[in-house]
Amino acid sequence: MLLRKITFAIGIVGMSLSLMVTSVEASQDEAIIINKRTNQLAFYEKSTLQKVFPVATGRTKNLTPEGKFTLVNKVKNRPWYTGNIPGGDARNPLGARWLGIKVPGDWGHVSGNVYGVHGTNNPSSIGTYASNGCIRMYNKDIIWLFDRADMNIPVYITSSSSSFAALAQKYGVGKAKKVVAGYETFNVTLKYGSKGEAVKILQRKLNITADGSFGPQTLSAVKKFQKSKGLVADGIVGAKTRAALFNK
Protein backbone atom coordinates (compact mmCIF):
# COMPACT_ATOMS: atom_id res chain seq x y z
CA MET A 1 0.00 0.00 0.00
CA LEU A 2 2.83 2.40 0.87
CA LEU A 3 4.53 1.64 -2.42
CA ARG A 4 1.31 2.40 -4.29
CA LYS A 5 0.97 5.77 -2.51
CA ILE A 6 4.57 6.68 -3.32
CA THR A 7 4.11 5.68 -6.95
CA PHE A 8 0.88 7.70 -7.18
CA ALA A 9 2.54 10.76 -5.62
CA ILE A 10 5.45 10.56 -8.04
CA GLY A 11 2.98 10.31 -10.89
CA ILE A 12 1.14 13.44 -9.76
CA VAL A 13 4.42 15.37 -9.45
CA GLY A 14 5.47 14.17 -12.87
CA MET A 15 2.19 15.30 -14.40
CA SER A 16 2.52 18.71 -12.72
CA LEU A 17 6.03 19.16 -14.03
CA SER A 18 4.89 18.11 -17.47
CA LEU A 19 2.09 20.69 -17.43
CA MET A 20 4.52 23.36 -16.23
CA VAL A 21 6.95 22.59 -19.05
CA THR A 22 4.14 22.60 -21.61
CA SER A 23 2.93 25.99 -20.35
CA VAL A 24 6.43 27.50 -20.53
CA GLU A 25 7.04 26.08 -23.99
CA ALA A 26 3.67 27.38 -25.21
CA SER A 27 4.44 30.86 -23.93
CA GLN A 28 7.52 31.01 -26.15
CA ASP A 29 5.26 30.62 -29.19
CA GLU A 30 3.20 33.69 -28.28
CA ALA A 31 4.65 37.15 -27.79
CA ILE A 32 4.29 40.84 -28.54
CA ILE A 33 7.23 42.70 -30.07
CA ILE A 34 7.18 46.50 -30.28
CA ASN A 35 9.72 48.40 -32.36
CA LYS A 36 9.86 52.08 -31.42
CA ARG A 37 12.05 52.87 -34.41
CA THR A 38 9.26 52.01 -36.84
CA ASN A 39 6.35 52.49 -34.40
CA GLN A 40 5.02 49.02 -35.12
CA LEU A 41 3.76 46.15 -32.99
CA ALA A 42 3.99 42.49 -34.03
CA PHE A 43 1.90 39.72 -32.50
CA TYR A 44 3.19 36.15 -32.62
CA GLU A 45 0.88 33.24 -31.92
CA LYS A 46 1.49 29.51 -32.48
CA SER A 47 5.03 30.28 -33.64
CA THR A 48 3.66 32.49 -36.43
CA LEU A 49 3.62 36.22 -37.04
CA GLN A 50 -0.12 36.92 -37.10
CA LYS A 51 -0.31 40.68 -37.61
CA VAL A 52 1.78 43.85 -37.59
CA PHE A 53 0.07 47.02 -36.37
CA PRO A 54 1.02 50.72 -36.44
CA VAL A 55 1.34 52.24 -32.97
CA ALA A 56 2.26 55.46 -31.20
CA THR A 57 5.02 55.47 -28.57
CA GLY A 58 6.59 57.98 -26.18
CA ARG A 59 7.14 61.60 -27.16
CA THR A 60 10.79 61.21 -26.17
CA LYS A 61 13.08 58.20 -26.45
CA ASN A 62 13.13 57.38 -22.73
CA LEU A 63 9.39 57.61 -22.06
CA THR A 64 8.61 54.17 -23.46
CA PRO A 65 10.89 51.68 -21.67
CA GLU A 66 12.86 49.05 -23.57
CA GLY A 67 13.47 45.45 -22.58
CA LYS A 68 11.59 42.23 -21.92
CA PHE A 69 8.41 42.63 -19.90
CA THR A 70 5.28 40.59 -19.14
CA LEU A 71 1.60 41.09 -19.92
CA VAL A 72 0.03 41.04 -16.44
CA ASN A 73 -3.49 42.44 -16.76
CA LYS A 74 -6.26 42.98 -19.29
CA VAL A 75 -9.04 45.54 -18.80
CA LYS A 76 -12.00 46.43 -21.01
CA ASN A 77 -12.85 50.14 -21.09
CA ARG A 78 -10.46 51.11 -18.33
CA PRO A 79 -11.24 54.46 -16.65
CA TRP A 80 -8.72 57.26 -17.02
CA TYR A 81 -8.19 58.02 -13.35
CA THR A 82 -5.94 61.04 -13.92
CA GLY A 83 -8.67 62.89 -15.76
CA ASN A 84 -11.54 61.28 -13.88
CA ILE A 85 -13.03 60.00 -17.16
CA PRO A 86 -14.96 56.72 -17.01
CA GLY A 87 -14.23 53.76 -19.24
CA GLY A 88 -16.13 53.72 -22.51
CA ASP A 89 -16.36 57.53 -22.61
CA ALA A 90 -15.40 58.96 -26.02
CA ARG A 91 -13.06 61.39 -24.23
CA ASN A 92 -11.07 58.58 -22.58
CA PRO A 93 -7.50 58.59 -23.97
CA LEU A 94 -7.07 54.91 -23.07
CA GLY A 95 -9.57 53.82 -25.67
CA ALA A 96 -11.44 50.53 -25.72
CA ARG A 97 -8.92 48.13 -24.17
CA TRP A 98 -5.89 48.05 -21.85
CA LEU A 99 -3.10 45.46 -21.81
CA GLY A 100 -0.97 46.21 -18.75
CA ILE A 101 2.69 45.23 -18.73
CA LYS A 102 4.96 44.66 -15.74
CA VAL A 103 7.72 47.25 -15.83
CA PRO A 104 10.21 48.17 -13.08
CA GLY A 105 8.89 51.28 -11.36
CA ASP A 106 5.28 50.15 -11.70
CA TRP A 107 3.24 49.97 -8.49
CA GLY A 108 4.56 46.87 -6.74
CA HIS A 109 6.32 45.90 -9.99
CA VAL A 110 3.43 43.60 -10.87
CA SER A 111 0.23 45.61 -11.29
CA GLY A 112 0.53 46.63 -14.94
CA ASN A 113 -1.32 49.85 -14.14
CA VAL A 114 1.33 52.35 -15.24
CA TYR A 115 2.56 51.08 -18.61
CA GLY A 116 0.39 49.35 -21.15
CA VAL A 117 -0.70 48.82 -24.72
CA HIS A 118 -4.06 50.53 -25.15
CA GLY A 119 -6.52 52.14 -27.52
CA THR A 120 -6.86 55.85 -28.08
CA ASN A 121 -9.32 58.69 -28.60
CA ASN A 122 -6.76 60.36 -30.88
CA PRO A 123 -6.31 58.07 -33.90
CA SER A 124 -4.30 60.70 -35.80
CA SER A 125 -1.46 60.15 -33.30
CA ILE A 126 -0.90 56.54 -34.42
CA GLY A 127 2.42 56.16 -36.19
CA THR A 128 3.95 59.08 -34.30
CA TYR A 129 5.81 59.71 -31.05
CA ALA A 130 3.03 61.15 -28.95
CA SER A 131 2.39 59.30 -25.68
CA ASN A 132 3.58 59.67 -22.09
CA GLY A 133 5.19 56.24 -22.39
CA CYS A 134 2.40 53.81 -23.20
CA ILE A 135 1.87 52.20 -26.58
CA ARG A 136 -1.24 53.42 -28.39
CA MET A 137 -3.17 51.47 -31.02
CA TYR A 138 -6.27 52.06 -33.10
CA ASN A 139 -9.26 50.87 -31.08
CA LYS A 140 -10.19 48.18 -33.59
CA ASP A 141 -6.60 46.90 -33.47
CA ILE A 142 -6.36 46.77 -29.67
CA ILE A 143 -9.70 44.93 -29.52
CA TRP A 144 -8.32 42.33 -31.96
CA LEU A 145 -5.13 41.98 -29.90
CA PHE A 146 -6.97 41.96 -26.55
CA ASP A 147 -9.09 39.01 -27.65
CA ARG A 148 -6.04 36.95 -28.63
CA ALA A 149 -3.13 37.85 -26.35
CA ASP A 150 -2.85 35.56 -23.33
CA MET A 151 -1.86 36.66 -19.86
CA ASN A 152 1.81 36.35 -18.86
CA ILE A 153 3.17 36.31 -22.40
CA PRO A 154 6.43 38.22 -23.01
CA VAL A 155 6.33 41.76 -24.35
CA TYR A 156 9.56 42.89 -26.00
CA ILE A 157 10.11 46.61 -26.58
CA THR A 158 13.08 47.78 -28.61
CA SER A 159 14.29 50.43 -31.03
CA SER A 160 15.89 48.57 -33.90
CA SER A 161 16.55 48.62 -37.63
CA SER A 162 16.07 44.84 -37.72
CA SER A 163 12.98 43.17 -39.19
CA PHE A 164 10.45 41.47 -36.95
CA ALA A 165 11.65 38.12 -38.26
CA ALA A 166 15.18 38.94 -37.08
CA LEU A 167 13.95 40.27 -33.74
CA ALA A 168 11.80 37.18 -33.15
CA GLN A 169 14.77 34.98 -33.87
CA LYS A 170 16.90 37.03 -31.48
CA TYR A 171 14.31 36.72 -28.70
CA GLY A 172 13.59 33.04 -29.40
CA VAL A 173 9.94 33.62 -30.19
CA GLY A 174 8.42 30.56 -31.86
CA LYS A 175 9.82 29.48 -35.18
CA ALA A 176 9.98 33.10 -36.32
CA LYS A 177 9.69 32.06 -39.95
CA LYS A 178 6.17 31.80 -41.29
CA VAL A 179 4.27 35.03 -41.93
CA VAL A 180 0.52 35.22 -42.42
CA ALA A 181 0.04 37.04 -45.70
CA GLY A 182 -1.77 40.37 -45.81
CA TYR A 183 -0.86 41.71 -42.38
CA GLU A 184 2.38 43.54 -43.13
CA THR A 185 2.45 47.29 -42.93
CA PHE A 186 4.88 50.23 -42.74
CA ASN A 187 4.81 53.83 -41.51
CA VAL A 188 7.46 55.58 -43.59
CA THR A 189 7.08 57.70 -46.72
CA LEU A 190 8.31 55.94 -49.84
CA LYS A 191 9.17 57.44 -53.22
CA TYR A 192 11.21 56.77 -56.34
CA GLY A 193 14.66 55.59 -55.28
CA SER A 194 13.60 54.23 -51.88
CA LYS A 195 14.92 50.82 -50.91
CA GLY A 196 14.38 48.26 -48.17
CA GLU A 197 11.83 46.04 -46.47
CA ALA A 198 9.08 48.69 -46.52
CA VAL A 199 9.36 48.84 -50.32
CA LYS A 200 8.98 45.05 -50.47
CA ILE A 201 5.80 45.27 -48.39
CA LEU A 202 4.49 47.98 -50.74
CA GLN A 203 5.32 45.88 -53.78
CA ARG A 204 3.57 42.83 -52.33
CA LYS A 205 0.49 44.94 -51.65
CA LEU A 206 0.55 46.09 -55.28
CA ASN A 207 1.11 42.53 -56.54
CA ILE A 208 4.34 43.32 -58.35
CA THR A 209 7.85 41.90 -58.04
CA ALA A 210 9.09 42.49 -54.48
CA ASP A 211 12.74 43.33 -55.00
CA GLY A 212 12.89 46.10 -52.39
CA SER A 213 13.81 48.80 -54.91
CA PHE A 214 11.36 51.61 -55.76
CA GLY A 215 11.98 51.83 -59.50
CA PRO A 216 9.92 52.52 -62.65
CA GLN A 217 7.63 49.50 -62.23
CA THR A 218 6.79 50.42 -58.64
CA LEU A 219 6.29 54.08 -59.55
CA SER A 220 3.85 53.12 -62.28
CA ALA A 221 1.97 50.73 -59.96
CA VAL A 222 1.72 53.35 -57.20
CA LYS A 223 0.34 56.00 -59.57
CA LYS A 224 -2.19 53.52 -60.94
CA PHE A 225 -3.28 52.65 -57.41
CA GLN A 226 -3.54 56.32 -56.42
CA LYS A 227 -5.74 57.08 -59.44
CA SER A 228 -8.00 54.14 -58.58
CA LYS A 229 -8.52 55.59 -55.10
CA GLY A 230 -9.09 59.18 -56.22
CA LEU A 231 -5.76 60.34 -54.77
CA VAL A 232 -3.17 62.66 -56.27
CA ALA A 233 -1.15 60.39 -58.56
CA ASP A 234 2.28 61.73 -57.63
CA GLY A 235 3.89 58.33 -57.02
CA ILE A 236 4.78 59.23 -53.43
CA VAL A 237 3.53 56.82 -50.77
CA GLY A 238 2.66 59.16 -47.93
CA ALA A 239 0.05 59.00 -45.18
CA LYS A 240 -3.03 59.11 -47.46
CA THR A 241 -1.73 56.45 -49.83
CA ARG A 242 -0.70 54.22 -46.89
CA ALA A 243 -4.16 54.62 -45.40
CA ALA A 244 -5.72 53.54 -48.68
CA LEU A 245 -3.32 50.60 -48.99
CA PHE A 246 -4.08 49.28 -45.52
CA ASN A 247 -7.72 50.46 -45.33
CA LYS A 248 -7.08 52.71 -42.31
CA dist., res. 193 & res. 37, Å (int): 21
CA dist., res. 53 & res. 44, Å (int): 12
Cβ contacts of 197 within 8 Å, gap of 6 or more: 163, 186, 212
118 and 233 belong to one structural domain: no
**Residue 70 in domain:** yes
**Tens of pLDDT, residues 70-111:** 999 999 999 888 888 988 899 999 999 999 998 876 655 557
| CATH code, domain with 227 | 1.10.101.10
Burial (CB < 10 A; 0-12, 13-18, 19+), residue 107, is exposed
Q: Which whole number is the average pLDDT over 133-143? A: 96
**Residue 56 in domain:** yes
Whether 159 shows a pLDDT value over 70: the answer reads yes
Q: Which whole number is the average pLDDT over 161-187? A: 71
Catalytic residues: 118, 134
| CATH code, domain with 120 | 2.40.440.10
63 and 140 belong to one structural domain: yes
**Residue 35 in domain:** yes
123 and 202 belong to one structural domain: no
**Residue 190 in domain:** no
Whether 205 shows a pLDDT value over 90: the answer reads no
113 — pLDDT class (breaks 50, 70, 90): confident
pLDDT at 209: 87
Range of the domain at 201: 197-245
Of 171, 188, 211, which residue sits at a domain end? 171
**Residue 223 in domain:** yes
Q: What is the tally of structural domains in the chain?
A: 2
Asked whether the whole model's pTM tops 0.75, one would answer no
**Residue 115 in domain:** yes
pLDDT at 69: 93
101 and 213 belong to one structural domain: no
**Residue 22 in domain:** no
**Stretch among 2-6, 51-55, 118-122, 221-225 having the lowest mean pLDDT:** 2-6
144 and 36 belong to one structural domain: yes
152 and 81 belong to one structural domain: yes
Residue (of 114, 113, 136) closest to 126 by Cα position: 136
142 and 67 belong to one structural domain: yes
48 and 156 belong to one structural domain: yes
